[in-house]
Structure 1
Amino acid sequence: MDLLRFKKKISFRNLIANLITIVRHTKKLIEILDQHNVHIIYTNDQSAQLYGIILKLVTGKKLVWHVRDNQRFRFISFLFCLGSDKILCVSKHILNQIPFKNRAELVYNGINTDFWKPDSILNSRTKHKLGLDENVILIGHVGQIIPWKRHDLFLRIAQETVESGFENVHFLILGDDRFNEFPECLDYLVSMVESSGLNKYVTFLGYEADIRPWLQTIDIFLHLANNEPFGRIAIEAMAFEKPVICFAEGGPNEVVKNNASGYLIPSDKPSEVTEKLSFLISNSNLRREMGISGRNIVKANFSLGNLKRINAVMLEIYEEYFN
C-alpha cells in the first residue's frame, strides 16, 4: 500500500455548502469589481478560475488564467480555456495539457535569488537543533503531506539507504496537511517509520513559515512528487546550492539538469533514487559542484525576471481592452 490509496472525501452536504459559498462569494466579488473599476481578472488555480469564469460571464471583464495545476478533467479544462482571454502556463508539462494553444504561453515561475541563497546568518538552525552531529548527512523533503507528494516513497528510500549500510544519515520532512484534506496520511507515515525502525533516522518537522534555514542546513534534497506541475521547491533548494534528485516527469524534469544540478530518475525505477542518493552521500565534492551548478541554473532561468512577462501580459490585455 502507499499514500496514493487515500482519496479526498466528498459528501453531498459538502457539495451543497460549496455551492452556497460560491454564490455568496461571487456576489461579493462583483461588488468589489464595480467598486474598484477592475478591467482584468487574474486567477491562478482551478478553484479561482471557476470564480473567474463566472465573473467574466456576468461582467464581461477580461480574464487571465495562470495555470499551476494538472488538468485532470479535459471537459472542465476546455471550458476554463474557452472563457480565458490569455492563459499562462508554469511549465511545458502544463502547456501540453492546454487545448487552446493559441491563447497559451509558457512563463516559468521565478524567485528572488537574493532572498533564496546560502547565507551564514541562517545557520541558527543547525543540525544540532535536531540533536545531530554536523557531519551527519541530512536529506530533506518539503511539501504538503498529501498523497501525490509521495512522502511514503521518501521513507522507503530512507529505509533502503539505512539498510544498505549508511548510518550517518538523517531524513527530514517539512510540511503538514495544510487544508486537513488527508488526515490519515500523517498517521500512515508515522506508522511506516515505527514499523521499519527508522525512528532515530527520521524527523517530522511540521509546518515552517520560513524554510530557508532548513534548506541551508540540508545536504541533499529529494523531490518525489507524481507529475508535479512545476516544483517551485526544487528551484528554491537549487538556489541554496543543494543537489536535487527527482523524477524525470512533470515540471521538475524541466528544472533539474540531469548529472549537473542533480539527477532525473525514471518514475518507474524508484530504486535508482536510492542508488543516486547513496552516491551523493559518499561524494561531498560532487554535492558541492552540483549545488553550484543548480544555483547558476536558477539565476539564469528562474529569476524574478520571469515575472516581468506576467506584468507585460497584463498590460497587453489592458491596452486591448481600451482599444
Structure 2
Amino acid sequence: MTPKPILFVDHAAALGGAEKSLLLLMQHLDRQQWQPHLACVEGELSKAARAVNIPTHLTPLPRLRRSTSFIKNLRQAADGIAQIAKEIGAVLLHANTVRAAMVTAVTAQKTNLPCIWHMRDFWLSEAKPNRLWLDRWGKRWLCNASTAVIANSLAVATHLPCPKKVHVVHNGIDLSTFGVTPALSAAETAVSSTFRHRFNIPPDAPLIGTVGRLRPWKGQDRFIRIAAKVAKSNPSARFLIVGGSPFQVNDGFEKDLHQLAAKHNLTNRITFTGHLPDVRPALAALDIFVHAGAPEPFGLVNVEAMALGKPVVAFAHGALPEIVVHEKTGLLISSENEVKLAAAVTQLLNQPARRIEMGRNGRLHAESHFNIKRVAHEVEVIYSELFH
C-alpha cells in the first residue's frame, strides 16, 4: 500500500506547545498509511521536523492584520500551499494554527482537497481584543471551509460554532521519554538529584514548582503569592519557576516577578531557572506541580508532570478538569482563590503518602489517556472517515 501524502501547515517559526504536539503527531502516524509533509517558515519548527526525517517545505504565511494587503497575501500564500500540495500529491491538508487554517481554507477551494483545522488554542479575539474583526466572520468561515475540525480539548470545542464537525482529541506525549513506571526509577532519582545540585536546592527540601513561558497569563505572579502563603507554615519548602522569554517579550514582567519575590522575602527560596530546552529534569525534581495561570486550552506540561509521578494542584478552569482527576491525580480548586490553592499545596506537603499515591495515579492516567500513540490513532480514524 502506498502511503497517502498529507500536507501539514503551521505558521510558526518557534517551537511552542502547538508545534511540539504537531511534531509528535507527525512522528507517530502509521507510515504505511500516511506520509506527513510540513509546510512552514524557516526556524526551530522546520529544523526539528527535518531532524526526525519529516519532509519540510518552506513557505511564508500572512500575518493576521486588518489591512488592504491581507486578502492579497492570503491568496498568495494559498497559491504557494497549493503548489506544494500538487508537487507531493497531497490528498489532505491539515492546518495546525488559525493563521494556517485561513490559508488552507483558500487552498482547499482552489484544489478541492479536504482540509482539517486543528484548533489548539482559544480563539484569538478572546486574548487580543484588537482582533475582534476576526471573531465576526473568522470562526464561522473556517468551520464552513474545513472538512473536519479537531479541538484539543472540550474547553476549546465549546468556542466553535460547528459542533457537528468538531472532534475532540487531546494532545499526547511520548511516554517512552518519561520512564517506564509510576514511581521514580533510580535513573530518574539521579536526574532529580543532579538538577537540585545544579540550582543549589537542598536534596531533602520539599520543592513546589511551575513551568511556562514568563508571560502574565501563565500566572507566575500568582504562583509567587501562593508560595509566600505556603512558606509561612513550611519553613523548609523551596519553590521553582521554570521558563524564560524566548520570544523577547514581557521582559519587564520577569523583572516584576523578581521584585515580587523580594517583597515576600522569598529571594533565597525561589529559584528562577530561565528557559530550559528540556523541562523533564525540573519536573522530576519537584514534589508538587502547580498551575496557577489563566484558563489553558490544554496545558501539556500538566500531563508531563503526571507522567513523572507528580501530583498537580491547579485552578479548575480551561482544560485542566479534562487532565487532572480531582482527589486522584491532584487537587483542583473550583474558584480562582489563591488562599485556597495555597491551602491545597500545604495539605499535600503534610501528607507525603497521599502525595506519592496521587503521583502514581497520575502516571497511570497519563499512560491510559494521553499516550501519543493513542492520540495518533484517533486522528488517523478521522482521516480515514474523510475517504469513505
Q: TM-score range, shorter-chain basis?
A: 0.7 to 0.9
* Structure 2 residue aligned with 1:230: 298
Give the partner amino acid of 1:129.
Answer: R
Q: Is the 8 A contact 2:289 2:312 kept in 1?
A: yes
Q: Which residue among 191, 198, 218 is the counterpart of 2:286?
A: 218
* Structure 2 residue aligned with 1:101: 163
Deviation of 1:81 (Å): 1.1
Q: Quote the Cα distance in structure 1 between the aligned partners of 2:81 and 2:279.
A: 33
Question: Could you tell which deviates more after superposition, 172-181 or 115-124?
Answer: 115-124
- What SS does structure 2 have at the residue aligned with 1:49? helix
Q: Which residue among 228, 233, 243 is the counterpart of 1:159?
A: 228
Q: Quote the Cα distance in structure 2 between the aligned partners of 1:189 and 1:58.
A: 49
1:148 matches 2:217: yes
Deviation of 1:201 (Å): 1.1
Q: Quote the Cα distance in structure 1 between the aligned partners of 2:255 and 2:322.
A: 33
Q: Quote the Cα distance in structure 2 between the aligned partners of 1:23 and 1:180.
A: 30
Deviation of 1:110 (Å): 2.0
Q: Which residue among 95, 115, 120 is the counterpart of 1:43?
A: 95
Deviation of 1:18 (Å): 9.1
Deviation of 1:184 (Å): 2.5
Deviation of 1:286 (Å): 1.3
Cα gap change, 1:74 to 1:292, in 2 (>3 Å) = farther
Deviations 1:182-230 (A, max 9, x none): 3332122122123332111111112212211111111100012211111
* Structure 2 residue aligned with 1:34: 86
1:239 matches 2:307: yes
Q: Quote the Cα distance in structure 2 between the aligned partners of 1:15 and 1:179.
A: 23
Cα gap change, 1:170 to 1:149, in 2 (>3 Å) = same
Deviations 1:258-304 (A, max 9, x none): 11111000233221110011111122111101101111111122222
* Structure 1 residue aligned with 2:12: none
Q: Quote the Cα distance in structure 1 between the aligned partners of 2:265 and 2:69.
A: 43
* Structure 1 residue aligned with 2:24: none
Measured on the aligned residues, the alpha-carbon RMSD in Å equals 2.3
Q: Which residue among 83, 88, 113 is the counterpart of 2:150?
A: 88
* Structure 2 residue aligned with 1:172: 240
1:286 matches 2:338: no
1:251 matches 2:319: yes
Q: Quote the Cα distance in structure 1 between the aligned partners of 2:197 and 2:221.
A: 26
Cα gap change, 1:18 to 1:216, in 2 (>3 Å) = farther
- What SS does structure 2 have at the residue aligned with 1:101? coil
* Structure 2 residue aligned with 1:131: 200
Structure 1: where are the runs of 5+ without partners?
1-11
Structure 2: where are the runs of 5+ without partners?
1-62, 127-134
Deviations 1:62-112 (A, max 9, x none): 110111111233642222211110111111111211211111111122222
Deviation of 1:248 (Å): 0.8
Q: Quote the Cα distance in structure 2 between the aligned partners of 1:67 and 1:208.
A: 26
Structure 1 runs of 4+ off > 6 angstroms? 14-18
Counting aligned pairs with the same residue, the percent is 25
* Structure 2 residue aligned with 1:55: 107
Q: Quote the Cα distance in structure 2 between the aligned partners of 1:46 and 1:310.
A: 18
- What SS does structure 1 have at the residue aligned with 2:175? coil
Q: Quote the Cα distance in structure 2 between the aligned partners of 1:267 and 1:47.
A: 33
- What SS does structure 2 have at the residue aligned with 1:66? strand
* Structure 2 residue aligned with 1:120: 186
Deviation of 1:139 (Å): 0.9
Q: Is the 8 A contact 1:149 1:225 kept in 2?
A: yes
Q: Is the 8 A contact 2:152 2:171 kept in 1?
A: yes
Q: Quote the Cα distance in structure 2 between the aligned partners of 1:54 and 1:271.
A: 49
Q: Quote the Cα distance in structure 2 between the aligned partners of 1:59 and 1:181.
A: 38
- What SS does structure 2 have at the residue aligned with 1:176? coil
Which one scores higher on RCO, CA 8 angstroms, separation ≥ 6?
1
- What SS does structure 2 have at the residue aligned with 1:134? coil
Cα gap change, 1:184 to 1:60, in 2 (>3 Å) = farther
Q: Is the 8 A contact 1:109 1:307 kept in 2?
A: no
Question: Could you tell which deviates more after superposition, 124-133 or 15-24?
Answer: 15-24
Q: Quote the Cα distance in structure 2 between the aligned partners of 1:271 and 1:226.
A: 16
Cα gap change, 1:64 to 1:182, in 2 (>3 Å) = same
Q: Quote the Cα distance in structure 2 between the aligned partners of 1:315 and 1:25.
A: 27
Aligned length in residues: 306
